[in-house]
Structure 1
């Protein structure tokens, strides 16, 4: 089931992508996902206007590690000339340029950006066409099933994007109206795949290896863009690739294996973002990592009050010790 996918001139080692997620797919997390075998990682989405005006926080979003390859950057904006100009500026730093036409966040939509562009296919075409003209690297686009239930125009939007010259498409099976609620409609993914001749990646409701295989079989998409399923669970990538290759479902990682990844994540955060930022930003990651673990609610409360990475490391050791007590038949303690 795993197969190589070529996007323009770029050949990927696997057909699993890491979808851009604000506050999640930063440099440290991407490195963890690349170690698991992701075919293509992507930055968090970046505003073209913020780059134009030299916003001080934007360069951090664009930061990459030496040898981090392949890597996509995702831009959002609504002005064709500006999007073309910024794409041309960035293409030497990245493997491809992705365009966000699916973000449902109100402030993005109010500006006519993100999923608002699904209501303006003519403007969307001009943006994509301008970017394709200005770039030698592949340009791709991510969008949704439609803006709302009455306007599910993903197949038509996909044909427009292909006509504009994009090299691949990613489709989220929910409308903007749904945000992340309800169930993703995979029928939309199949419709899009049948509508175009370029690679199509499906997105939405893939939380385990079996979901990935079912999406590939039911929709015919070329690959999968993993998103919320990898939050606190980067090993979903490696387990999914193994399952697609062999049909063997590997067990969930053990607690020691999870703690090893968590500790590495903390270390990468410190290396690339510094102690203070690492301590603050790891709180949400620890909350995701510890879902379902013994005493996880108590641990998450402590994580949210941790002021240093030293405290986070100590909590990992505490969790490890509590697990060992449980194995010896003693009542686990988080004291």
Structure 2
């Protein structure tokens, strides 16, 4: 698959997820076969760029293709944000028009923009003109089930010079409820000639193949299903290439993965913040292996990185 002049090695992309798609997580997804791991959303507001959170979100990856997602509602600010990230090493700029979060939408960013096609056009054109690297777009199918305008937005994007578009198969008001609908993604694929990326509820190798076949999409984007299961990319890739399913990973299989990831989180964020960030990842990793939440609850009371590593060692020894 091509995104402008950039060639992806396969059809699998790791979705940008706020609070999840940090450098340690992106690196893990690339390690397990994702062709591209998009950074978590970065505000286009320059006033927040110097905050600790934004500094961690600025991309400094030494692996894979560096794709940075930006969000905002001002065409000029978005253009400047794209230029800043380009100067920091971004190879792709991704524009967020799919986030359904209230705090994002109340600023007219994220999926709220789908209600204003003219503003969408202005933002996309401004960003495309501002940088000399490919610009991509992530959207939902529309604002609500009665106002699905993803085909219109996709055509605007193509005309503005967007190089690929990812479509989550839900409207803004649907949030993450119900099932993703792929009919709209199929219609987008039929309406434009730029690459289309299908997103939403792709949580298994079989589902990935079915979605690709039904929508005709050029690639798929995996989000929540990879939380605590980054090897999902490996499973999907193997199934698409061979038609065979890999055996499920055992606890002993995931132990080195968990330890490596948690140590990188501690290192990336530092002692004070790292152990807090690590908690949710450990809960995701162990959800299928330890259904009761006794360990999770005790793990969440630990207040140091070393205590977390020691507790994990005991857990894996006893299971």
Q: Please say whether Structure 1 and Structure 2 have the same fold, judged by a TM-score greater than 0.5.
A: yes
Q: Which of 132, 136, 139 is the equivalent residue of 2:135?
A: 139
| Residue aligning to 2:180 | 184
Determine if the alignment matches structure 1 residue 117 to structure 2 residue 101: no
Separation in structure 2 between the aligned mates of residue 84 and residue 295 of structure 1, nearest angstrom: 46
Contact persistence 1:145–1:152 (CA under 8 A): yes
Query: 2:100: which partner in 1?
Result: 104
Contact preservation (8 Å) 1:16, 1:40: yes
Aligned residues of 2:266 and 2:278 also touching (Cα < 8 A): no
Q: Which residue, 146, 153, 158 being the options, matches 1:150?
A: 146
Q: 2 CA distance for matches of 1:56 and 1:132? A: 28
Q: Does 1:281 align with 2:303?
A: no
Question: What's the offset of the Cα at 1:50?
Answer: 3.9
Distance between the aligned counterparts of 2:306 and 2:80, measured in 1? 44
Root mean square deviation of aligned Cα: 1.3
For residue 38 of structure 1, the aligned residue among 28, 34, 40 is 34
For the 8 Å contact 1:50–1:58, the answer to whether it is kept is: no
For normalisation by structure 1, the TM-score amounts to: 0.92
CA distance in 1, matches of 2:277, 2:81: 28
| Structure 2 counterpart of 1:333 | none
> Structure 2 length normalisation: TM-score?
0.96
- Aligned counterpart for 1:294 among listed residues 270, 277, 290: 290
| Structure-2 residue corresponding to 1:75 | 70
* Count of matched residue pairs: 318
Residue 153 of structure 2 aligns to a residue whose secondary structure is helix
Distance, in Å, in 1 between the alignment partners of 2:84 and 2:312 is 42
- Post-superposition Cα deviations, 1:77-106, rounded to whole Å, max 9, x if no partner, equal 111111112212211411100000011111
Q: Which portions of structure 1, spanning 4 or more consecutive aligned residues, are displaced by more than 3 angstroms?
A: 50-56
Distance (whole Å) between structure 2 residues aligned to residue 284 and residue 57 of structure 1: 17
| Runs of at least 5 residues in structure 1 that lack an aligned partner in the other structure | 324-335
Match of 1:270 among 266, 285, 293: 266
How far 1:158 moved relative to its partner?
A: 0.5
Q: Distance in 1 between matches of 2:38 and 2:290?
A: 33
Report Cα offsets for 1:125-145 as digits up to 9, x if no partner: 000001111111000000001
Contact 1:51/1:58 (8 A) holds in 2? no
Q: What is the match of residue 330 of structure 1? A: none
Paired residue for 2:316? 320
Change (3 A) 1:96 1:305: same
Note the 1:1-335 alignment, pairs <5 A: 5-50=1-46, 54-65=50-61, 67-92=62-87, 93-294=89-290, 296-323=292-319
Gaps of 5+ in 2: none
State the Cα distance separating 1:247 from its structure 2 match.
0.7
SS at match of 2:39: strand
